[in-house]
Amino acid sequence: MNKDYTFTITNTLPGTMARAGVLHTPHGDIQTPVFTVGGTQATVKSLTPEMVKDMNGQAILANTYHLMLRPGADVVEKAGGLAKFMNWNGPTFTDSGGFQVFSLGMAYKKGIDATSHSAKGDAKHAKHSAGQLAKVDDEGVSFRSHIDGSPLRMTPESSMQLQWQIGADVHMAFDELTSPLAGPEYVRTALDRTHAWAERCVSEHAKQWEAHQKAGKPYQSLWPVIQGGRDEALRRESAKFLGALDVDGFGIGGVFEPGEIPDVVRWVCEELPDDKPRHLLGMGSAVSDLFLGVEYGIDTFDCIAFTRQARNGSIYTAAGKLNIKNAKFKTDFSPLDAACSCYTCTNYSRAYIHHLLRAEEILGLTLASIHNEYFVVNLVDQIRESVIDGSFMDFKKQYLAEFDPNLNTEKQA
C-alpha cells in the first residue's frame, strides 16, 4: 500500500464484524465508518462544499460517467483535480461508470433503480431493449449520451484513465452491475466480465500511477467492486477473487431489497481481507441499513437518496420520516426535528420549509437538503462512536425502536 494511502483499524466490536478506523488519503484523513456524501456532477445538489463541511461531511463521491460528459475529465484535470475544481478541502471518491451500465442499460425507463423494485417478477424488465442507452460486450460498454444521444465508449482502461484525470483519492474499478431481475446465467456472465475487467483496471492503474509518480502527483487508490447478485456462492467467489488482487480497498455493488444487506454484506466481508476498507455503493435510504452495514463490516457508504428525498419534501427525523408538504405543517412553527442541531433546524420552522417547497422556491431545496444530509452524516458519526465505546448494540436497538419509517406518509392535502 502506498505511503500516501493507508487504512488503520483502531477499534473492533466483539461478537460483530463492526470496526472503526482511519483512512489516510493525500487530501486528509477519514474517520470510519463514514457516510460519503453524494456529489455526482462535482456538486452535492443545492449545497455548497462549505455547507457539507459544516455538517461534518468528510468525503464526497462523484460520478465518472457524468463528469466524462460534462465538463469533461480534461477540464477537471486542468482545474487541478476534483477537490480543487469544486472547492472541496477534503478526500474524494469516484465511482467508475459501472452503475450507468445498469441504469442506462437493462434498467433504462423500466422503473427499476437502486431503491425501487416495483417491476420484480416481470420477465420483460430483465431483457435488453432497443431503446436502452448502454450495450455491454466483453471489451467494454457502448453508451449513447443521455444528454444528446452521441455515441460513447467506456472500457476498463478508459475508466481508469478518466478517473486518474479527475483526480479523486479513491477510484472504483469498472464493473457490470446487473439488474435484480437478471437470470442466473447472465449474473454468472456479468460476474466473469467484472473479474476480467478488474484485472485490466489493475494493470491500467499501475501504468497511470507510474506516469503520475514521475510527474510528482499524489497517489490515487483503486477499489474493485464485488458483484454476484443475490447468489451466496457467486458473492463469496467474487470476494475471494477480487480480495486476492493487489488493490487498496473494495466496493460492494448491488441493487438490494429491504433486509438483504446483512446476508450479502456478511457473505462478502467474511471472505475479504480484514486490513482493507469496504465501501457499500448506493446503499439505499433505509436507516436500519446504516446500522446493519456497519455491524457486518462496512467502513464507508454512499447514497444520493437522502438529498433527493429532501427535494421532494420527505424529511428524516429521529422519530421517522414525514412529508413536510402536507397541509398540517402550514402553521407548525417548530423545527423539522427538535432533536436536530443542523443549520436548518436551528434557524427555520416546519411552516417555512412547507411554504418554500409548496411555492417551489429554490431555498426550500437547500434547507431541506441540509437537514437530511446532516441527519445521515450525523447518524453514522454516532454509530462510529458507539462502535468505539462499545455501546453499538444498545444504540442500535434503542434508535430503531424509536424510528418509524412510516411516521407520516399521508398524501398532501
Gap between the Cα atoms of 281 and 95, Å rounded: 9
Residues sharing a CB contact under 8 Å with residue 32, sequence separation 6 or more, in sequence order: 19, 20, 21, 22, 23, 277, 299, 300, 384
Query: For cell 459501472, what's the residue?
Result: 98
Helices 232-243 and 184-214: angle between axes, nearest 10 degrees? 20
Q: In what order do the strands lie in the sheet with 60-63?
A: 221-223, 170-172, 92-95, 60-63, 34-38, 300-303, 278-280, 250-252, 225-226
Instruction: Identify the residue whose cell numbers are 474493485.
Output: 224
- Catalytic residue positions, numbered: 95, 302
Question: Which residues neighbour 216 within 8 Å (Cβ) at sequence distance 6 or greater?
Answer: none
Burial code (b: 16+ CB inside 10 Å, e: under 16) for 51-76 equals bbeebebbbbbbbbbbbbbeeebeeb
